[in-house]
Amino acid sequence: MKIFTKGIWRNHKPILITGVGLTAITLQALMAPVSVLSIKVDGFVKVDGSSTVYPITKAIAKDFTTSNPSAKIEISFSGTSGGFKKFCAGKTDISNASRPIRLEEMAACKKAGISYYELPIAYDALTVVVNPKNTWAKDITVAELKKIWEPAAEGKIKRWNQIRPEYPNQPIKLFGAGKDSGTYDYFNAAINGSATSTRKDVTTSEDDDVLVKGVSQDLNSMGYFGFAYYEANIKNLKALAVDNGKGAVLPSRKAVEAAKYQPLARPLFIYVSSTSMRKPEVRKFVDFYMKRAAKSAATVGYIPLPAKGYELAKQRISFGRVGTVFAGKTELNLTITQLLGKELGL
């Protein structure tokens, strides 16, 4: 198995096809059935982006390199925004993303001549957590989350009893996603009304393990990150049920599938360069990815899409449907059914 979290990027020489057969051969390669994907691959596939999506991609890469030992999958995470900067500069083949691509990122890709396939791979229940020794907090309302995290709270909302009077008069320490993280964008949009609207006196990181460690070591802490990181550290964290006005709901696969865990349920994606897709190692890895996404998502703690969702994603590749269905915007409260409707153009 060869999975690298750090490494040197190597350029691949393109295969030159001359004459009138270029378009036909290229199209045939892009739309090829499974038989073409059985060829041996030994090149690099470079992936960066969301730390939320990272566990899914890492698990799939591990399985892929077991059956394709000559392939080299290089996986890093710099956050969704950080990943798109590299992707739209042509430095990566695949970008993990915990939100849809934004307008300025679309413009950067277009300027660089990079088109892409937007492939939904799973759902996440963005999870609000406290220390497991916290005996007073069991649930939290969306209004209370805003009271804690909005810019106006900076330097003012500093103690637990300011959230609810019955809570102890103890300091609260906050841990949240870094500004290059898609989790940062989504949480702030869902809770504070803007992707960039949040208090700044918070310990932040694009590495979710840093946030997990911070919350697990401080009795008076609160933080948020993807559900998989909560699941992987369930003995050291306590999830809060979130109440959006319809009752407090704990994050879970069942709650997300029933569209009850709102507004913190969100789709997860990979974006694949259409140019990179012409390389056998990338095409084969992406095909493998979409076949394994449901199983791997569930294994690491996320919510798989229905089988139809993965079939629609594969059809986007087969028919060369590049671009995004989100028009550069992050849509809140998007259910799995609504996501599939967007994929169908409904």
Tell me phi and psi for residue 90, to 5 degrees. 75, 20
Residue 150, SS3? coil
87: left (phi over 0), alpha (psi -120 to 50) or beta: alpha
b/e 75-97 (16+ beta carbons within 10 angstroms → b): bbbbbbbbbbbbbbeeebbbbbb
pTM for this one?
Answer: 0.86
> What's residue 66's pLDDT?
92
Instruction: List, for residues 61-118, the tens digit of each pLDDT value.
Output: 999 999 889 889 999 999 999 999 999 999 999 999 999 999 999 999 999 999 999 9
Query: What whole-number distance in Å separates Cα of residue 253 and Cα of residue 164?
Result: 29
Give the neighbor-by-neighbor strand order of the sheet with 127-130. Answer: 203-205, 173-177, 221-225, 127-130, 238-239
pLDDT grade for 43, boundaries at 50, 70 and 90: confident
Q: Which of 110, 169, 109, 105 is nearest to 136 (CA)?
A: 169
Query: What whole-number distance in Å separates Cα of residue 247 and Cα of residue 241?
Result: 9
Q: Which of 9, 3, 177 is nearest to 89 (CA)?
A: 9
Structure tokens at 221: 């802490």
- The Cα-based distances of 343 to 62, 102, 118, 313, 323 in angstroms read 28, 17, 10, 8, 11
CA angle 315, 317, 319 (to 5 degrees): 70
The stretches of 37-125 forming alpha helices (DSSP H) are 54-67, 80-87, 103-111
> What's residue 10's pLDDT?
32
Secondary structure in 3-state letters for 15-39 = CCCCCCHHHHHHHHHHCCCHHHHHC
DSSP 93: S
> What's residue 38's pLDDT?
52
Average pLDDT over residues 243-250: 97
Sign of CA dihedral 306, 311, 314, 319: negative
pLDDT at 31 over 70: no
The stretches of the chain forming alpha helices (DSSP H) are 21-30, 54-67, 80-87, 103-111, 142-149, 182-192, 208-216, 227-232, 253-257, 280-300, 307-318, 336-343
pLDDT at 218 over 70: yes
Percent of the chain with pLDDT over 70: 88
Pairing of strands 72-75, 3-4: parallel
Count the helices and strands in the chain (H runs, E runs): 12, 14
- The Cα-based distances of 11 to 14, 90, 190, 285 in angstroms read 9, 11, 40, 18
Query: What whole-number distance in Å separates Cα of residue 71 and Cα of residue 125?
Result: 32
Domains and CATH numbers, the chain: 3-124+266-343 (3.40.190.10), 127-250 (3.40.190.10)
